[in-house]
Structure 1
Amino acid sequence: MSFGVNLDSSMDSMEETRFKKKHSDLIQKLVKKLHFTYTELECIFIIYYKLQKDNADKNATGITKNQLRDVLHSGLDMTDDALMDRIFSVFERGPSTTVSMETWATALSLWLRGTLEEKIDYCFSVSTQCFGVVAHTHQVYDLLGDGLIGRETMFFFLRSSLISQSSEDDAEESVKDMIEVITKKMDVDRDGKISFNDYKTTVLQQPMMLEALGQCLPSREAVHTFITTFTPRIGKM
């Protein structure tokens, strides 16, 4: 542990020590299941705490989703607004506009050091226990909540990423071509839709297909840069 060791020079050492002691039980709990050391979690919690202090609403119980969106945009190179609400729904349930400290740490663990299988479940899972919360219909790519990726869903995600790069008519034709390519690669059982098993089987064989429908994970460069802000240990534990 690092009680008494000042991790952030912009915070008063007594304030930081009180903060770390207050949340030590939660850190002890999370260090057993996330891809961070105890000291790394302290740093991640302090980043959260500083974001919360910057919140205009001083009565808020956590950082806002808009603040998290800013972190994703500026710190993790995740800029696809069409996917943001879907990304948030994977980790946070209900109508709350804030993100809890545990959710913050859990999300960063996946984004920065998650295994391929964790990322597969995050991007698209049918009905699994996701970080202690029943995920059911709230996965990123499972837009309709039926456990399948159909052509309508693919069109929704792909069109939003291409429409800004060309005319609407050209974008729609390009999307249709991409849907054919993705379906051919991922529809293992050839039923016209992509199930979770189709998706997982394909991605395990071809990891580059993980984000075939749009970016919902940070780039490798962004991961490296973000991690080095709080630890010199780049790799997994």
Structure 2
Amino acid sequence: RLAMEAAATLFALLTIAILVRHAMHGGVIDTGAATLAEQAIYTLIAIGAGAILVAIDMRSPSLVLRYGSLAAGVVSVAFIVIQHFGALNPLFTDESTGRIPVFNLLFLAYLLPALAAGGLALYARDKRPKWYAAMLALMAALLAFVYATLSVRRLFKGEFIGLWSGLDQLETYTYSALWLIIGVALLTAGVWLKSQVLRVASAALISVAVLKVFLFDMSELEGVLRALSFIGLGAVLIGIGLFYQRLLTRAARGT
């Protein structure tokens, strides 16, 4: 019975993947490597499969469904790290991100998987091991970060955002401001959801932004932009300090 369940699940996913491949390549399934758009669909399928298997397992418990859902989550994370962040990243390939401002390749390849991974992390929070939900939450945060960063890049460079096209001062400053904003957003989400992973991700991102301001912005930016970079950094750090002080005060009152 377990073998039949495993085979049925595997063949269902393979069938969906083949249909996607068929549609993306005009009816031919062996015409070269996958594009980022195609890979994004595979990633969304893997995340969706993980969610479906968790839901079915909650109604009809099965080892195949349990471990299958874990495997689907791990595979989706592998896709994201290797393909989305690495091999197929338009920052490295200079692939066109599309001419449409919002609903473009970045939306499909980064924002949608971020929402899907975050949703699965929340759904599986009390249904699967802690490492599983933490892994998906971290991937969701990283995908959102990359989406926002590449969207800024696209705003300045247009549909082709290859790394070799350089940086200008305003773009450099925008990254610092954006990363600090995302760091604060992750901190807020981490406190609200009581997620240590998001709080750690927030601390890591803010630390990276601080290092960027001191090691890069100080030498690359001039005049008003340099001043704004340091003022913004100081304001965010003061705000975070006050935020944590308030949390500690509440905790002390609660005890």
What is the TM-score with the length of structure 1 in the denominator? 0.30
Structure with more helix by fraction: 2
User: Structure with the greater relative contact order (CA < 8 A, sep ≥ 6): 1 or 2?
Assistant: 1
Higher strand proportion (structure 1 or 2): 1
Larger Rg over CA atoms = 2
